[in-house]
Amino acid sequence: MRPIPRYDFIIPILTFLSLIPTHLANPIDNGLVDSELIHECVTHKAVEVILLLDASGSIGDDTFKKQLSFAMHLASRLNISEEGSHMALIQYAETPKLEFSLGQFNHPTQLEWAIQRIEYQSGATNTGQALRLTLEKGLQGARTGIPKVAIVITDGQSQDDVSEPSQLLRDADVMVYAIGVTNLVNVHQLHQMTGNPVRVFTVESFEQLDRALADSLTWSMCKTEFRPGTPEIICGPDRIGVKASTKQPFEGNVFVMDHYHDEECRAGPEKFPDSRSIGLTVPFSACNVHRYRSLNPKGIFVEVSIVFMFHSLFMTKTDQTVKVQCFYMEADKHVTVPLSVSMITTVFREQIYQMPQCAYTLRKGAPDGPIVRFATLGESVYHRWECIEVEGADKDTFGMLVHSCYVDNGYGDRVDILDSNGCGLDAVLLSTPDYDTSLRLATKPYHVFKYADRPVLQFQCQITLCLKYDGGCEGITPPQNCKKLPGEDGAHHHHHHDHPERRRKLVRRLADGVGTIDVFTDSVTVLEQEPSCQQPVQYPFINTNLWIMAIITLTNMLVFIVTVWFTFRKRRCKPS
């Protein structure tokens, strides 16, 4: 599967399909927070804390000492002891350094001495490397079943990537907090590190790294027992998921709806180092994760429904289902090509193209027939893939290749029907599509089939676009190396021996394409036979009887009217 290309902004969306039970969220009391309340909160709770201090060149020795003072304020708030909380500390600049590890100093006096003896490092700002060191060495000595928290302090912008190591930390059940100091800090990077804006703190100067901030941070962590307070969604570059915490140790399963029996789509207690911090992430290519494109705003929606089943064997009314949806907003990207070259002076003229709009439909009776939503078993229906030039029908800029198609019944049963080269795999299901001369329209008839006991089908494909300029679509589309399938009638495609070198060239050409998008058909309900409405039987004698009854009724009414008239007249003529 091709990774989603160049998306610079991700919007997580979490939809609850039923009321949130108390198993998934801790209520937060309404009330003023004071030192006594914080002390009461942390006294009987343990946590593994890794503190990351910014030691870059913009900090300076005096400012770095303010961070050390904050570290001591924070340590004094936590229940530091053998059985209580443990703390590790990393200072980072160009190269991060683990000053002391978890469990090395478990007495408050020893820990304070260890913090005071740290010397300022100085250098560039590589926060990403510090996060990786946290994952590789900072978690050594962490106890099983104890929640883990990383706190990052920074005054600027990291010179390396922070999103990937932050996601790896969250995958390791580490809850990340970030404190940004001064107005020069990159807030977007802070959000990338934490994955949740609730865990981002910002202050205007290092003087504000004081006891009050230590209190606020400690309370923010402790009030949810150093775990996510409410379910948090995970929007990774190639996967999606959700994390949550429970009040009691979790003994059930977390799984993708309708995929309980797929091991890749399920996580049980054995996969949770902390039995009260649970969750599941799945790749885009598995567990029936749905992807569909948005044109305004431009990007891709990725969604999946995940079930929290609290009993180890049975579904109960306390179970929770959440619909997780991530939106990957597409970065502004222009396709540019050189249009003219002079022998004297090299001149490059830039042409900007708008990407075409692509759709995948099933049509009844003909390639341009009505869209199919209901069909009968064995009925002839046409697949239709089409990309329309946004700049007008007279433009001939793009070509397309339809490939990597499969059919899904919505219950995880998936069968591939076109391979990654765009070739058919089974003539009974679907042969290689026929392309028109524009290379933006492909069709293919097939006879409707269905899964046993599953009446609903949905087809999904990928479309790779290419620029026709200067032969940019040659070798990409139409498919050039498709083998003739048993049962195919006639040769509609170029069939060549699938030489390994030819295959490698095709892979390289696909990589040169403008972009690849996912397209879906509407769901189709397959009926065993076409329903027919029985016409009412017409009997000729019924119409005759109706006329006779109407005449009799009118006659009776006339007799009644005449009788009433004579009776009334007779009474008026009688002498008084």
- What long-range pairs does 187-195 form, CB within 8 A, spacing at least 24? 189/127, 189/154, 189/157, 189/158, 189/162, 190/154, 192/162, 192/163, 192/166, 193/127, 193/131, 193/152, 193/162, 193/166, 194/166, 195/166, 195/167, 195/170, 195/232, 195/234
Other CB atoms within 10 A of residue 382 CB: 18
What is the end-to-end Cα distance of the chain in Å, rounded?
Answer: 110
Residues ≥6 apart with Cβ < 8 Å to 154? 54, 125, 127, 178, 179, 180, 181, 185, 189, 190
Q: Are 472 and 466 in contact (CB under 8 A)?
A: yes
Rounded to 5°, angle at Cα 546 from 540 and 550: 155
What pLDDT is recorded for position 397? 82
pTM, entire model: 0.49
35-226 carries CATH number 3.40.50.410: yes
Whose structure tokens read 């049962």?
487
CA distance 291 to 283: 12
User: What is the radius of gyration, based on Cα positions, of the chain?
Assistant: 35
Whose structure tokens read 């030489």?
499
Q: Is 471 exposed, middle or buried (0-12, 13-18, 19+ CB in 10 A)?
A: exposed
**CA 419 to the chain's CA centroid:** 24
The first and second tokens of residue 76, run together, are 């004094």
**CA 280 to the chain's CA centroid:** 13
Q: At what angle do helices 61-77 and 108-116 cross, to 10 degrees?
A: 170
What pLDDT is recorded for position 352? 52
**CA 22 to the chain's CA centroid:** 26
- CATH number for the domain running over 357-481+512-527: 2.60.40.4100
Nearest Cα to Cα of residue 231 among 243, 247, 246: 243
What pLDDT is recorded for position 555? 87
What pLDDT is recorded for position 71? 94
What pLDDT is recorded for position 104? 94
Q: Are strands 148-154 and 174-181 parallel, antiparallel or unpaired?
A: parallel
What pLDDT is recorded for position 502? 46
What pLDDT is recorded for position 18? 40
What pLDDT is recorded for position 99? 95
What are the domain boundaries of the chain?
Answer: 35-226, 232-329, 357-481+512-527
Q: Which run of H or of E encompasses 543? A: helix 540-573
What are residue 441's DSSP bridge partners? 386
Per-residue pLDDT of the chain (576 residues; tens, 9 = 90+): 344 444 445 555 555 444 333 333 333 344 445 567 677 777 878 899 999 999 998 888 899 999 999 999 999 888 899 999 999 999 999 999 999 999 999 999 999 999 999 999 888 899 999 999 999 999 999 998 888 999 999 988 899 999 889 988 988 888 899 999 988 888 889 988 988 888 899 998 899 998 888 888 888 888 777 677 667 777 877 888 888 877 778 888 999 988 888 888 999 888 887 777 788 889 888 888 888 777 767 788 888 888 888 887 777 767 788 888 888 776 555 444 444 443 433 333 334 567 788 999 999 989 999 999 998 888 889 999 999 887 666 778 889 999 999 988 767 678 899 998 999 998 888 899 999 999 999 999 988 888 777 788 889 999 988 888 777 888 888 988 788 877 665 544 444 444 455 444 444 445 545 678 888 898 888 887 766 655 555 555 556 777 788 888 888 888 888 888 777 777 766 665
| Strand segments (E) across 268-313 | 277-283, 290-295, 298-309
Residues ≥6 apart with Cβ < 8 Å to 535? none
